[in-house]
Amino acid sequence: ILDKKVTVDEDAAAKVRDDMAAIGVEVSDIALKDVILPGDMREILNQVVSAEKQAEANVIRRREETNATRSLLNTAKVMAENPVMLRLKELEALEAIAGKVERLTVHNGTDGLLNDLVKLRD
């Protein structure tokens, strides 16, 4: 009914015009304003609409995840081809770590520190 509202309007208008013409009343325009569904049908319709919206949200979420993964891949390719860029990212990571600790002592230079941090992680 909701998908075919225009058809229902036309069918209802034709029926009402015929009935009203029989008693001498001319009807110029009729439109379907609201469709009131029983409680269980309304609940089912709400569930369908909710499921459709959830599916749309999942599609958008997956698209964004794909874009983020593609961006990471492109970044990895750039770093693989450009050691200076890789070094810059290493230093940025070190700066972020240093900002979160109270005290940091470096004995082997930044290369030694980065290697030690990687070893700690393993």
pLDDT tens, the chain, 122 aa long: 566 666 667 777 888 888 888 998 888 877 777 778 888 888 998 999 999 999 999 999 999 999 999 999 999 999 889 988 888 888 888 888 878 877 766 666 666 666 666 665 54
Shared domain check, 72 and 52: yes
Shared domain check, 48 and 25: no
Shared domain check, 113 and 87: yes
Shared domain check, 46 and 24: no
pTM above 0.75, yes or no: no
Shared domain check, 89 and 72: no
Alpha-carbon span 118 to 112, nearest angstrom: 10
Domain hosting 122: range is 83-122
Task: Provide the number of structural domains found in the chain.
Answer: 3
Shared domain check, 92 and 69: no
In the listed set 48, 63, 81, which residue is the last one of a domain according to the structure? Answer: 81
Alpha-carbon span 70 to 74, nearest angstrom: 6
Shared domain check, 42 and 26: no
- Closest-CA residue to 118 (of 84, 100, 99, 94): 94
Shared domain check, 96 and 75: no
Shared domain check, 43 and 30: no
